[in-house]
Structure 1
Amino acid sequence: MSDPVRRYRYGPFSGGPDPLAPPPDLRAALEEIGRDVMEGRSPDAALRELLRRGLPEQHGLDEITQRLWRKRSELQRRHRLDGTLEQVKELLQQALTKERQALARDLDDDARFQEFQLDELPGSPAGAVRELAEYQWRSSEARESFQEIRRLLGQEALEQRFRGMSEALKATTPEDVERVREMLEDLSALLGQRAQGAPDIEQKFAEFMARHGEFFPENPRTVDELVDLLAARAAAAQRLLNSLSQQQRQELAQLSQQAFGDPRLAQSLQQLDNQLRQLRPGQDWTGRGRFRGENPLGMAEGAAALQDLAELDQLAEQLAQSYPGARLEDIDLEALARQLGRESTVDMRRLADLERQLRDRGLLERAPDGDLRLTPKAMRQLGDTALRDVLDQIRTRRGDRASQAAGAAGELSGATRQWRFGDTEPWDVGRTVRNAVLRTAAAQRDRAVRLDVADVEIAETEHRSRAAVALCVDTSWSMVQDGRWLPMKRTALALHHLISTRFRADALQVITFGREAATTGIAELTALEGAWEQGTNLHHALLLAGRHLRRHPDAQPVVLVVTDGEPTAHLEPDGEAVFDYPPRPETLARTLAELDALARLGSNLTVFRLGEDPRLTRFVDLMARRSNGRVVAPDLDGLGAAVVTDYLRNRRPR
């Protein structure tokens, strides 16, 4: 007996986040945040900017907000709000035409009198409908058209405030209208008790829903949810009236008295609106919508459109995340799906997942003071990215491969890596054979193991020499003003990562100098904001560099200076920083004296000159000649490669 044929059904996945969606690109996200932080933003602001912009393969809040505004503009551009009046006019004209045709066929005096009545009807639709309330129609078609006006007015008035009312009132028989009146009376009583703070209000609400739940397909769970629903729609209905001309408002007010041919319905709805206004005064009861299209909307459609506009505005405010304590969790995903579809909620969930994983993976954390900050793990990843970029530049400029060696011939470090063309380090035989076995075990029918170049791993070695490195970076305002701030930080980050991962025995000290100099950690430098401060105190920076070198007398001394201006400040013996421009002779003399002290320590000095200032050029050339150092003038894109290359050259003993 054969197995029964299996049947499969395929459809869109609707069980939550897409299981096939790619994971968030945390590395790209961290690079974006790191770049903004290095440009001077706080990590909080950088994260908000990332969520606002998004990533190349992921839409951000700005893109979703633009969709909202496009939909809002389309609503206003396509529609106008006088559709109910237009429908009433059309139905009234149909009724009068059919009635006149019927009267023309009758020759009795009553027919002539009725013709006179029709000729004397008021010019306004509301006045004509009111005058025809007691009219004895001869045409059944005319009578039906007139009854349709009353049904239309009733249904529009109810649909404005109770979404889905047309489903509950499929036939709008007198019995249906009476059920609506009873519901409105009970609802008014319930809201009155809610306003008075009745202690058993939830029980009364449950009784109300048990009796009239068919009118509320949203199935509110509490009386406050019910009030919120009704107040939002009543406020939208009021904004619709506010959007019409004075004459149109008067017409609709008079026509509403003819809803279902029972003026009590309009009175009950007015009472309901008053109660809702008192319970929810924070709703927008005074606004108006500006519609300029050609497609007329009825009262119910117009109120729904105005409610959509209000929801779109509320979503735009949530997406802006500009209020204190804003979080992505504040965004109403159900409202977003209603307005823009499921695709937008998928984008929002991916953004929320990205933000959450940045924290869960230990890349961002809250400091004790509540501020967001980059973790050491994040700093290592940023340093790794910066170093990769630098090595790519070195390979491109020189035609070399990116060196992954931890050192030249020397002691084994215990680490291995895949062999690349040009490597001279010894093979790690055990790992090489293991790689070959794993690669060929499933494919070989015989038991022979064949080596391939891809199997080879080499053993890394460590340098036996060590260096004490002082990286002095200019943080004066000109570095910010001329776009050198970010390249300087990325250079320091790349050098720090290289030393901390490849040359761990080396001692790196980062020194910043503006009006004064200071030693700083790489995290503090990354987050350092540019400040308006005059002064380039190279004297103080070289003084701190000398202290660092003297703490490591057994290491090769290396001093790297990145600057875009000649020295314009120095330290007095009492520790006060003195600034003057053009620089004082004393400033230049003190700077050169400290340079001579570094030369006596045997330091290798390299100055990286940024810009083409002639005075700076002359001074750094003097520094190089005096200390037997070098001057390098890289462009901003090549600054990192120049500094790393020079460090690798200078750390070797002379």
Structure 2
Amino acid sequence: MPHSPGHRRSRYGRYTGGPDPLAPPVDLAEALDAIAEEVMAGYSPEQALREYLRRGGRGREGYDDLARRVAERRRELLQRHNLGGTLRDIKKLLDDAVLDERKQLARDVTMDDTDRAFREMQMDNLPTSTAAAVNELSGYDWQSTDAREKFEQIKDLLGREMLDQQFSGMKQALEGATDEDRAAIREMLTDLNELLEKHRRGEDTDEDFAEFMARHGDQFPENPRNIDELIDALAQRSAAAQRMLNSMTEEQRRELMELSAQAFGSPELMDQLGALAGNLQAMRPDLDWSGSEDFSGEQGLGLGDGTGAVQDIAELDALSEQLSQAYSGARPSDIDLEAINRQLGDEASVSAETLAQLERAMRESGLLRNGADGSLRLSPQAMRRLGKTLLNDAAKNLTARSGARDAQLAGASGEQTGATRPWEFGDTQPWDVTRTVTNALQRTAAEGSDASNRLRIEVRDVEVVETEARTQSAVALLVDTSFSMAAEGRWVPMKRTALALHHLVSTRFRGDELALISFGRLAMNMGIDELTALPPVHEQGTNLHHGLLLAERFFARHPSMDPTLLIVTDGEPTAHLEEQGHSWFDWPTHPETLRRTVTQLDRVTRRGARTTFFRLGDDPGLKNFLDQLADRVGGRVTAPDLDDLGAAVVGEYLRFRESGYGEVDWG
């Protein structure tokens, strides 16, 4: 059926590479969680990002996985191949030529017996060295046509292999080449050496390069844009050829050098190639011209393929360094994706590109930002997202533990927050009339009800206004930062707990004040970003006395608020603050440390603070000590599992709010 003018037919073809248009977007949430976990464990955000990229994500290879594949590919090349392929092929051609010549001599009845005997003696007494035998037979008058052709193939093969060492693909390109083709190659080599020598003297011009490429550009598939790119491509191949020769045995190198004069039956080829190698080494002395590799396999490689294998190994070594990201200033953008594709295939290239996209997305998303000192830091946006995730986790644990409905933690009855939610049985909050009517209209339209009917509001349409308690709290969360917290695996759960509580207070109870106080050898007030990035320090001391001093000052600054004291610790106090401001440490707990800690707790309690201790670990001494403190001040002790610590702290904060200000909205 003919198509009307302008009608366009869609055509679909096989996907042939490039970014996968159907690939899912990179998962920043997973990456942020993993990076934040490392940050809380003591890594810097920059280190944490690198560790995540090295490790990879769920169902995604990381740089370490790619590096292992690179190492396997390198090992496979060395274990599969050896560098005797050209010598093996030449020996076979020589053996076949000699055999054909013997057959011809045996069946040629017209030949003079003396001549036959002399020729047979020549065949019988050839040197055991392939190179010496080829050189001895270079002037021999072959009687067998097949033998002569095979001997000429030796010269042709040598010429093509010698050229293939320097110019990849020449072995195949010159197969069956004519004398005219070989003359064109010799002319190209002559012109190339003249151009390089002019460049070494600083006498070349752009026109010289353009003229050379106009005449011989079809010999260079790399399509260099200037002479430096031409030199780079040639020098890398030439250096690999030299390393390949270095990797041969001394006997193999000697054989090749002796055979090289037979290449195309013209010693001029080797002279030109030698001059080319000298020019290239002089202009790129920084390349590796002296290295070698240990090829130990059974599959022989010719000179050109051997050089290619050495180039592959060099490329794999470069990829290994790039993937390690261990050098100064390393960035994922350093990784050569084309080289990954060449060496490991499309899937590995896609994995590497995905990791690079992820790194860019993390930096460009606003989740990471550069600090004043140039270091990478978690941004406030990242802290909010992370805090929200941790608070949701804590709420789920709290709900499962209490049997209550899912906790939205919206606040107690009183001041409106501006948010709404669906009504549930038992709610006393006022309706949001606008949202309720809108829900009814949308439901009616979706159900296709008769528009002439009056609008009916059902229970499922009703939304209520979330409210927030008017009474405000001053909450001091004291977290133990002694080294035992890190040594016993409690460091990250402690930080996750602080983040969850911080997010709850800063988003749902904005009228409350929260102080985060760390106490190790000394205590200090910390911002949530400081606490999150705090690395564990191998320093003894649990200075609860100092932490309580800072808590008292915090409560004093907010006299109109109801004070709440939450203490997370895994050890008895072993340090206290002296009048001069120095920390005094002793283990086990010194009576003076105990006296000052208890006295300071009494002072905090007299301000009306309600106190809960969160005991980590099963130390009987700590259990007895905290039980006595709680009894003294009318507080209580809980001993949550590490996975339940966040829910325990958040739940205790909410319990105090419920008991003091009315029921918390769990809608």
Scaled by the length of structure 1, what TM-score is found? 0.96
In structure 2, the residue matched to 1:141 is 146
Establish whether residue 463 from structure 1 lines up as the match of residue 500 from structure 2. no
In structure 2, the residue matched to 1:73 is 75
Give the Cα–Cα distance (whole angstroms) in 2 for the partners of residues 169 and 480 of structure 1.
68
- Determine helix, strand or coil for the equivalent of 2:138: helix
Instruction: Give the total of aligned pairs.
Output: 653
Output the amino acid matched with 2:517. Answer: I
Deviation at 1:364, TM superposition (A): 0.6
Deviation at 1:293, TM superposition (A): 1.9
Cα shift readout 1:458-495 (whole Å, capped 9, x = no counterpart):
32111122110000111111111111111111010110
Output the amino acid matched with 1:99. Answer: E
Give the Cα–Cα distance (whole angstroms) in 2 for the partners of residues 78 and 572 of structure 1.
72
In structure 2, the residue matched to 1:58 is 60
Establish whether residue 309 from structure 1 lines up as the match of residue 323 from structure 2. no
In structure 1, the residue matched to 2:211 is 207
Give the Cα–Cα distance (whole angstroms) in 1 for the partners of residues 522 and 234 of structure 2.
65
Establish whether residue 571 from structure 1 lines up as the match of residue 573 from structure 2. no
Output the amino acid matched with 1:324. Answer: S
Match of 2:120 among 115, 124, 127: 115
Give the Cα–Cα distance (whole angstroms) in 2 for the partners of residues 235 and 178 of structure 1.
26
Establish whether residue 272 from structure 1 lines up as the match of residue 282 from structure 2. no
Give the Cα–Cα distance (whole angstroms) in 2 for the partners of residues 419 and 149 of structure 1.
92
What are the equivalent positions in structure 2 for 1:533-572 lying under 5 Å apart?
A: 533-572=539-578
Output the amino acid matched with 1:164. Answer: G
Deviation at 1:2, TM superposition (A): 5.8
Output the amino acid matched with 1:155. Answer: R
Counterparts in 2 of 1:292 and 1:539: CA distance versus 1, 3 Å = same
- Determine helix, strand or coil for the equivalent of 2:621: helix
- Determine helix, strand or coil for the equivalent of 1:257: helix
Match of 1:474 among 480, 485, 489: 480
User: Is this contact kept in 1: 2:161–2:171, CA < 8 A?
Assistant: no
Match of 2:131 among 122, 126, 134: 126
Deviation at 1:128, TM superposition (A): 1.0
In structure 2, the residue matched to 1:152 is 157
Establish whether residue 343 from structure 1 lines up as the match of residue 347 from structure 2. yes
Deviation at 1:114, TM superposition (A): 1.6
- Determine helix, strand or coil for the equivalent of 1:18: coil
Give the Cα–Cα distance (whole angstroms) in 2 for the partners of residues 249 and 420 of structure 1.
88
Moved more, 466-475 or 179-188: 179-188
Give the Cα–Cα distance (whole angstroms) in 2 for the partners of residues 371 and 260 of structure 1.
61
Counterparts in 2 of 1:477 and 1:345: CA distance versus 1, 3 Å = same
In structure 1, the residue matched to 2:665 is none
- Determine helix, strand or coil for the equivalent of 1:468: strand
- Determine helix, strand or coil for the equivalent of 1:137: coil
Match of 1:183 among 188, 194, 199: 188
Cα shift readout 1:218-264 (whole Å, capped 9, x = no counterpart):
11111111111111111111111111111111111111111111111
Establish whether residue 502 from structure 1 lines up as the match of residue 502 from structure 2. no
User: Is this contact kept in 2: 1:383–1:494, CA < 8 A?
Assistant: yes
Cα shift readout 1:170-223 (whole Å, capped 9, x = no counterpart):
53222222111111111111111222222x433211111111112111111111
User: Is this contact kept in 1: 2:409–2:504, CA < 8 A?
Assistant: no
User: Is this contact kept in 2: 1:405–1:460, CA < 8 A?
Assistant: no
Cα shift readout 1:519-538 (whole Å, capped 9, x = no counterpart):
01000000001111111111
Counterparts in 2 of 1:642 and 1:405: CA distance versus 1, 3 Å = closer
Give the Cα–Cα distance (whole angstroms) in 1 for the partners of residues 510 and 401 of structure 2.
27
Counterparts in 2 of 1:389 and 1:272: CA distance versus 1, 3 Å = same
Cα shift readout 1:331-370 (whole Å, capped 9, x = no counterpart):
1122222112222222222212211121222111111211
Match of 2:260 among 256, 259, 262: 256
Output the amino acid matched with 1:487. Answer: P
User: Is this contact kept in 2: 1:395–1:401, CA < 8 A?
Assistant: yes
Output the amino acid matched with 2:282. Answer: Q
Give the Cα–Cα distance (whole angstroms) in 1 for the partners of residues 314 and 458 of structure 2.
67
Counterparts in 2 of 1:422 and 1:219: CA distance versus 1, 3 Å = farther
Give the Cα–Cα distance (whole angstroms) in 2 for the partners of residues 251 and 436 of structure 1.
93
Deviation at 1:568, TM superposition (A): 1.1
Output the amino acid matched with 1:41. Answer: Y
- Determine helix, strand or coil for the equivalent of 2:626: helix
User: Is this contact kept in 2: 1:103–1:112, CA < 8 A?
Assistant: no
Deviation at 1:401, TM superposition (A): 2.7
Deviation at 1:126, TM superposition (A): 0.6
Show structure 1 runs of 5+ residues with no match.
none
In structure 1, the residue matched to 2:199 is 194
Output the amino acid matched with 1:475. Answer: T
Counterparts in 2 of 1:452 and 1:120: CA distance versus 1, 3 Å = farther
Deviation at 1:166, TM superposition (A): 4.1
Cα shift readout 1:32-89 (whole Å, capped 9, x = no counterpart):
1100000000111001111111110332211222221222222222221111111111
Give the Cα–Cα distance (whole angstroms) in 1 for the partners of residues 460 and 325 of structure 2.
50
Match of 1:363 among 337, 362, 367: 367
Cα shift readout 1:85-104 (whole Å, capped 9, x = no counterpart):
11111111111111111111
In structure 1, the residue matched to 2:530 is 524
User: Is this contact kept in 1: 2:243–2:310, CA < 8 A?
Assistant: yes
User: Is this contact kept in 2: 1:164–1:216, CA < 8 A?
Assistant: no
- Determine helix, strand or coil for the equivalent of 2:576: strand
Output the amino acid matched with 1:584. Answer: H
Identical columns (%): 56
- Determine helix, strand or coil for the equivalent of 2:492: helix
User: Is this contact kept in 2: 1:163–1:216, CA < 8 A?
Assistant: no
- Determine helix, strand or coil for the equivalent of 1:465: coil
Establish whether residue 403 from structure 1 lines up as the match of residue 407 from structure 2. yes
In structure 1, the residue matched to 2:326 is 322
Give the Cα–Cα distance (whole angstroms) in 2 for the partners of residues 539 and 501 of structure 1.
31
Give the Cα–Cα distance (whole angstroms) in 2 for the partners of residues 80 and 425 of structure 1.
82
Counterparts in 2 of 1:92 and 1:536: CA distance versus 1, 3 Å = same
Give the Cα–Cα distance (whole angstroms) in 1 for the partners of residues 625 and 145 of structure 2.
105
Counterparts in 2 of 1:422 and 1:10: CA distance versus 1, 3 Å = farther
Output the amino acid matched with 1:610. Answer: L
- Determine helix, strand or coil for the equivalent of 1:651: helix
Deviation at 1:624, TM superposition (A): 0.6
Match of 1:593 among 594, 599, 616: 599
Counterparts in 2 of 1:422 and 1:70: CA distance versus 1, 3 Å = farther
Give the Cα–Cα distance (whole angstroms) in 1 for the partners of residues 598 and 122 of structure 2.
111
Moved more, 6-15 or 28-37: 6-15
Counterparts in 2 of 1:136 and 1:436: CA distance versus 1, 3 Å = farther
Give the Cα–Cα distance (whole angstroms) in 1 for the partners of residues 138 and 456 of structure 2.
101
Deviation at 1:439, TM superposition (A): 4.7
In structure 2, the residue matched to 1:169 is 174
Moved more, 636-645 or 332-341: 332-341
Give the Cα–Cα distance (whole angstroms) in 2 for the partners of residues 286 and 130 of structure 1.
29
User: Is this contact kept in 2: 1:470–1:559, CA < 8 A?
Assistant: yes
Moved more, 553-562 or 566-575: 566-575
Output the amino acid matched with 2:129. Answer: S
Show structure 2 runs of 5+ residues with no match.
661-667
Counterparts in 2 of 1:191 and 1:362: CA distance versus 1, 3 Å = same
User: Is this contact kept in 1: 2:615–2:637, CA < 8 A?
Assistant: yes
Output the amino acid matched with 1:465. Answer: T
In structure 2, the residue matched to 1:353 is 357
Give the Cα–Cα distance (whole angstroms) in 1 for the partners of residues 517 and 213 of structure 2.
72
Give the Cα–Cα distance (whole angstroms) in 2 for the partners of residues 63 and 11 of structure 1.
32
Give the Cα–Cα distance (whole angstroms) in 2 for the partners of residues 421 and 238 of structure 1.
84
